[in-house]
């Protein structure tokens, strides 16, 4: 059953989209990530214009994060104050990101920047995560204890002004690093059509040194605010949000996420991380390596007429 998407102006197979939403939702529920990095490339591959895919994903990611942040909130696993500070940076980042994306589209370089961002960020994050999780799996096999975690926080985190207390995260740090982190993720969310959890979660653990229990919930909370703003800005500035597309993905996504969360308890944490790292690496390589191959068709039509 095909359905015509009014904003994307293409006809797509509706059950296929719902199934895709479910699959990505399953993965996102299993690993506790938004899944935007996986969904956006698949949508582009299905023939949806990249600008529409990126913008509509903001709505999808906001909705799916909303459905899971509520359960984290009930478990008191959200640091709302830290989330708010991150989101303040995220707001700046998403405004800048939407304008940057608009400018890149005018220059005709949006595809390049999207592909490079996927290659660089997914490559780095996936590579690091894979390395770390393989190390953990090997250590467990050999029964060697984990190396003592260096708990010394980076000195620059303490040297900065504008300190603030974050009781739930048991932190007393400057607000500058979280704002900068939020802004960076906001730009990524506008350009790559992702929530940015894959950058946010490791940064919160390794840079801000937040306790593991509140990291995922807080990152989801910040993602809701940032993607909500990005989605409204994309619709207002670029008219590229297809609500029908987002709704179709959401139906499958919500269902898939519930099953994914249940399935995740059957695997060990480091095995899950290794698997996720592989998926992240593959997506990054698939998106980015095309830049290095000689194209069959040297010319490319740009969507939009530059207005």
**Interface contacts to other proteins, rule CB under 8 A:** 1-4, 6-7, 9-11, 59-60, 62-68, 70-71, 107-109, 111-112, 224, 228, 231-237, 239, 241, 243-244, 246-247, 250, 254, 258, 291-295, 297-302, 304-306
CB of 154 to other proteins, least distance (A): 33
Q: Which is nearer to other proteins, 27 or 274 (CB)?
A: 27
Please say which residue, 60 or 273, places its beta carbon nearer to other proteins.
60
For other proteins, which is the closer residue by CB, 108 or 154?
Answer: 108
Q: How far is the CB of 85 from other proteins (least distance, A)?
A: 21
CB of 303 vs other proteins, minimal distance in Å: 8
Closest to other proteins by CB, 11 or 172: 11
Measured distance CA(279)–CA(291) in Å, rounded: 20
Of 155 and 306, the one with the shorter C-beta distance to other proteins is: 306
Q: How far is CA 211 from CA 82, 136, 198, 206, 208, in A?
A: 12, 19, 17, 10, 9
Closer CB to other proteins, 162 or 300, in the complex = 300
Backbone angles phi, psi at 127, to 5 degrees: -65, -50
Q: How far is the CB of 268 from other proteins (least distance, A)?
A: 25
Other beta carbons within 10 angstroms of residue 167's beta carbon come to: 10
**Least distance between other proteins and beta carbon 132 (Å):** 29
CA distance 77 to 245: 31
Which helix (H) or strand (E) is 117 found in, with range? helix 110-117
Nearest approach, Cβ of 207 to other proteins (angstroms)? 28
Q: Provide φ and ψ at 163, rounded to 5°.
A: -75, 150
Distance CA 97, CA 260 (A): 31
* Spatial distance between the Cα atoms of 248 and 297, rounded to a whole number of angstroms: 33
The DSSP-derived string for 201-252 is HHHHHHTS---HHHHHHHHHHHHHHHHHHHHHHIIIII----HHHHHHHHHH
| Nearest CB to other proteins, comparing residues 116 and 137 | 116
* Smallest distance, other proteins to C-beta of residue 306, A: 6
Q: CB-side exposure of 1: number of CA atoms within 13 Å?
A: 6
Nearer to other proteins, 82 or 246 (CB): 246
State the minimum distance, in angstroms, from the CB of residue 240 to other proteins: 9
Neighbours of 183 (CB within 10 A): 22
Q: How far apart, in whole angstroms, are the C-alpha atoms of residue 285 and residue 291? A: 10
């Amino acid at each position: 059953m095909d359905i015509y998407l009014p904003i994307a102006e293409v006809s797509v197979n509706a059950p296929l989209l719902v199934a895709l939403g479910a699959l990505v939702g399953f993965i996102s529920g299993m690993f506790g990530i938004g899944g935007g990095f996986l969904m956006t490339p698949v949508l582009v591959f299905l023939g949806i214009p990249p600008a529409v895919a990126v913008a509509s994903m903001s709505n999808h990611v906001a909705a799916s994060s909303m459905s899971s942040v509520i359960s984290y909130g009930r478990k008191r696993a959200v640091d709302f104050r830290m989330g708010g500070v991150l989101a303040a940076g995220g707001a700046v980042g998403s405004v800048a990101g939407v304008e940057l994306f608009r400018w890149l589209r005018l220059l005709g370089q949006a595809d390049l920047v999207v592909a490079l961002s996927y290659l660089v960020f997914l490559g780095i994050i996936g590579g690091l995560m894979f390395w770390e999780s393989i190390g953990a799996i090997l250590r467990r096999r050999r029964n060697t204890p984990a190396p003592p975690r260096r708990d010394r926080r980076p000195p620059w985190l303490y040297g900065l002004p504008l300190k603030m207390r974050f009781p739930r995260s048991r932190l007393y740090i400057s607000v500058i690093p979280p704002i900068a982190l939020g802004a960076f993720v906001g730009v990524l969310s506008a350009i790559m059509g992702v929530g940015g959890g894959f950058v946010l979660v490791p940064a919160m653990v390794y840079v801000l040194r937040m306790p593991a229990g509140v990291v995922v919930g807080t990152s989801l909370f910040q993602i809701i605010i940032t993607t909500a703003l990005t989605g409204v800005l994309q619709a207002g500035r670029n008219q590229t949000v297809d609500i029908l597309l987002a709704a179709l993905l959401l139906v499958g996504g919500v269902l898939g996420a519930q099953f994914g969360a249940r399935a995740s308890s059957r695997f060990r944490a480091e095995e899950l991380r290794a698997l996720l790292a592989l998926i992240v690496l593959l997506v990054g390589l698939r998106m980015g390596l095309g830049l290095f191959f000689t194209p069959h068709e040297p010319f490319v039509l740009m969507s939009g007429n530059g207005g």
